[in-house]
Structure 1
Amino acid sequence: MTSPATTPDDTLRKWTPQWSPDHTDPALPPITLITDPHDRPAHTTTALAAHQPEHGCIAVHPTPLATAPAYLAHDLIRALGKHLPPPDIDPPWWTGNADESWRVAVAWTHALGIRHYIVCRAHRITSRHLEHLMALRERTRIRLTLIVSGPTPAALADILNAVSHRHLDTLEAAQHHLNTADHTTPPTDRYPWWQFTPFPGPDDEPWFQLPPRPRRPAGQPGEITTSTRGTPTRLPSHDNPPPATALTPAQHDVVAQRIHTRIAHPVHAAAVAIRALTGYDTDQLPQFTLPTPHRPHADLPAELPAWVRLLHDAARIHAELERFIRPDLPEHLSGADRAFRLSVWEKNDVAHATETCHLVAAPTRRPKPPKRK
């Protein structure tokens, strides 16, 4: 899936979920509007049955009466099979930030190869949600199907007047559209983790110990993290480490499933994957480098396993949306060779996300005392 070409003026600006009818791309696939004035259950059940992630088709049932600008983005992220952080920790800052939540949704949409969103009960989402959804459509170039149960709201009618669309008003036409949406596309091989993984992890789920911490890049291991409010919070594994077995490549599929289910932010998910692969601590992640043609010697290998590579791709797309990467410069100058730009509180989020996947850092090696002469 290719994104629209960026102009030089765009290279230093974050992507924000803003949409204007005057700047819509007429070459995008037309929106399909399905109207159901009698609110028949068959429309919803058919739409939800069309949810086929392996074919790039996602059905979304928005949270009722959720009006905050970030909520619909959260619904898209959940429909992709991911969960927001558990309620027993302070929520990461991005969950309350609409722009960042929509950047997360866009990054996953690109990285996971999603080509079609079906949104049920679209008459209940707000005008601002609709504008954010149109911005996502422009950026990802997806097909979009909206199901309206009842009269078409004025805000949606105004948007449809500005974009190409088609209207289906019978159950038979809706079923034909939804049942044949994307099934002609062969399943992607990028979903080995699309199995059900419990969230949160059950108490009897095995814990794995990360590989030993590499010596470089240098850094000081952090044992105490702080919440988003600045309150010190010691991670459970530091006070009372759970029994854990050493993580081996044979368990990487299990870890991949946990990461994809339990970590909603692509950068945090990629960070946990790198930790599982290499043992890097959170203080080392912002410093290590990836190989580039100009600098082939780096902290990570050039060829990452497929399950790590997809997560890293999602993190890289997110960095491009944040404009941390300059596409007009070589990788070693643009910032593309440094995968993670983690603030203090984001390091905490990565540490908590690691434990959400029931992964624990290996014990820190203490330096040997100098020999007495």
Structure 2
Amino acid sequence: MTSTPSGAAPDETFHKWTPTWSLDHTDPGLPPITLITDTHDQPAYTTTALAAHQPELGRIAVHPTPLATAPAYLAHDLIRALGKHLPPPHIDPPWWTSNADESWRVAVAWTQALNISHYVICRAHRITGRHLEHLMALRERTHIRLTLVASGPSPAALSTILNTVAHHQIDSIEDARQHLSTDQARTPRTPASYAWWQNAPFPGPHDESWYELPPRPRRPAGNPDEITSSTRGTPTRLPSTDSQPPVIALPTFKRADTSSTHLATVAQRIHTRIAHPVHAAAVSIRVLTGYGTDQLAQLTLPAPHRPRTDLPTDLPDWAGLLQNAARIHTDLQGYIRQDLSDDVSGEDTPFRLSAWDRNDVAHATETCHLVAAHVRR
């Protein structure tokens, strides 16, 4: 679904990360898996596991969607536990949500960008063998600690994995509480760097303020129409600046106060309402610079062979984190070649957006109640 950047290596040189794992390909240096067994399905175990959810310490507790067996579902559960919302059922979903590999790439990108170090998975006895394999692939890629809470007999797939991978087992609620409190010694991260701690309402209320993006830069050239098409083929246009309630204009980044209330509000919306890291990063750049969706794929970062850049070099923390998540995702897609020189490695091109991705970025912009700047003649 993603277009190949011009001037890059041929397609066969790209190697996307896929959520595949096998028993004979595992890193013995990874932290052992912890299995908490709750044979009698006592509520205290689940309550203790969910109470361990502390993003500021890098620990995320996940309660998988009951009876969800599609390969992408557990990845979606992880993404939601990280504070990211997928569209509600009545909204056409982005293309990637039905693609298992892409959903797991999104989960890995957020896990690494947000410095998540520990996942606690409840009801592990109910997740499928395919989900377990994908979860093990994520563990291999991110080197996280993994705690599984099995509130029933362990399935054969889980037993097979544990017979091969280093693990230890806990079978008392006291030991479970002790295990899940071991991250307390870590130093909490400052809220100023992590805007998603203060979640914006989702979906946005009808009376929520709309913000106008900064004026669109003249270059690079492109088609400035903000028209999107849903997956059902229904054309939609983002609201104009005449919409109600009144639109609040955002300043360009050069004049912006990074501590302004308006930018903090927008940052919370982006972190909460946009689940795909590349789309979230793209909307953040639109907020700071006014670029249109048609211009994003042409933007470049500064490089030794090209010191001029289209993007700000001193992004605020919340936007820099999103750019890092997007870069990790781009690497997972195989579009960054570490073995090539800077001018063809792909490192300096942050956005590779297909037509579908441009549509999703436009929809995400609207979801955050942002509108393109009104053209003043």
TM-score by length of 2: 0.91
8 Å contact 2:199–2:269 — kept in the other structure?
A: no
Partner of 1:216: 219
Which SS does the other structure have where 1:183 is aligned?
Answer: helix
Q: 2 CA distance for matches of 1:290 and 1:117?
A: 33
Partner of 1:48: 50
Q: 2 CA distance for matches of 1:43 and 1:252?
A: 40
Partner of 2:4: none
8 Å contact 2:227–2:238 — kept in the other structure?
A: no
One-letter amino acid of the counterpart of residue 230, structure 2: S
Partner of 1:163: 165
Q: Deviations over 1:313-340 (max 9, x none)?
A: 0000000000011111233321111111
Alignment of 1:158-197 (within 5 A): 158-180=160-182, 182-189=183-190, 190-197=193-200
How far off is 1:240 after superposition? Answer: 6.3
Q: Deviations over 1:171-223 (max 9, x none)?
A: 1111111122x111101233243113110011111111000000011111123
Partner of 2:268: 257
Q: 2 CA distance for matches of 1:326 and 1:241?
A: 45
Which SS does the other structure have where 1:22 is aligned?
Answer: coil
How far off is 1:300 after superposition? Answer: 1.0
Partner of 1:225: 228
Q: 2 CA distance for matches of 1:111 and 1:61?
A: 22
8 Å contact 2:120–2:146 — kept in the other structure?
A: yes
Partner of 1:76: 78
8 Å contact 1:224–1:232 — kept in the other structure?
A: no
8 Å contact 1:35–1:150 — kept in the other structure?
A: yes
Partner of 2:298: 287
Which SS does the other structure have where 2:178 is aligned?
Answer: helix
1:319 is aligned, of 314, 318, 330, to 330
How far off is 1:365 after superposition? Answer: 4.8
Q: 2 CA distance for matches of 1:228 and 1:315?
A: 23
Q: Deviations over 1:255-297 (max 9, x none)?
A: 1111110000000000000000000000000011111122111
8 Å contact 1:197–1:257 — kept in the other structure?
A: yes
1:355 is aligned, of 348, 362, 366, to 366
Q: 1 CA distance for matches of 2:370 and 2:280?
A: 13
Q: 1 CA distance for matches of 2:231 and 2:342?
A: 32
Greater displacement, 145-154 / 187-196: 187-196
One-letter amino acid of the counterpart of residue 312, structure 2: P
Aligned length: 355
Which SS does the other structure have where 1:284 is aligned?
Answer: helix
1:201 is aligned, of 177, 201, 204, to 204
How far off is 1:239 after superposition? Answer: 9.7
8 Å contact 1:223–1:238 — kept in the other structure?
A: no
One-letter amino acid of the counterpart of residue 211, structure 2: F
Alignment of 1:2-13 (within 5 A): 12-13=14-15
Q: Deviations over 1:223-258 (max 9, x none)?
A: 3222234x2412240496342011144121111111
8 Å contact 2:83–2:196 — kept in the other structure?
A: no
Q: 2 CA distance for matches of 1:313 and 1:146?
A: 29
Partner of 1:247: 250
8 Å contact 1:122–1:147 — kept in the other structure?
A: yes
TM-score by length of 1: 0.92
Which SS does the other structure have where 2:363 is aligned?
Answer: helix
8 Å contact 2:214–2:288 — kept in the other structure?
A: yes
Greater displacement, 263-272 / 83-92: 83-92
What is the aligned-residue identity percentage? 70
One-letter amino acid of the counterpart of residue 350, structure 2: A
- Structure 1 residue ranges without an equivalent (≥5): 1-9, 367-373
Partner of 1:339: 350
One-letter amino acid of the counterpart of residue 115, structure 2: G
Q: 2 CA distance for matches of 1:93 and 1:323?
A: 19
8 Å contact 1:207–1:360 — kept in the other structure?
A: yes
The CA RMSD over aligned residues, in Å, is 1.5
Partner of 1:35: 37
How far off is 1:345 after superposition? Answer: 1.3
Which SS does the other structure have where 2:239 is aligned?
Answer: helix
Which SS does the other structure have where 2:293 is aligned?
Answer: coil
Q: 1 CA distance for matches of 2:88 and 2:59?
A: 27
- Structure 2 residue ranges without an equivalent (≥5): 1-11
8 Å contact 2:273–2:367 — kept in the other structure?
A: yes
Partner of 1:274: 285
Partner of 2:7: none
Which SS does the other structure have where 1:145 is aligned?
Answer: strand
Q: Deviations over 1:347-373 (max 9, x none)?
A: 11100100111111101355xxxxxxx
Q: Deviations over 1:31-84 (max 9, x none)?
A: 000000011111111111110001100000000000000000000000001100
Which SS does the other structure have where 1:73 is aligned?
Answer: helix
One-letter amino acid of the counterpart of residue 154, structure 1: A
How far off is 1:131 after superposition? Answer: 0.2
Q: Return closer, same or farther for 1:269/1:211 CA change in 2, 3 Å cut-off.
A: same
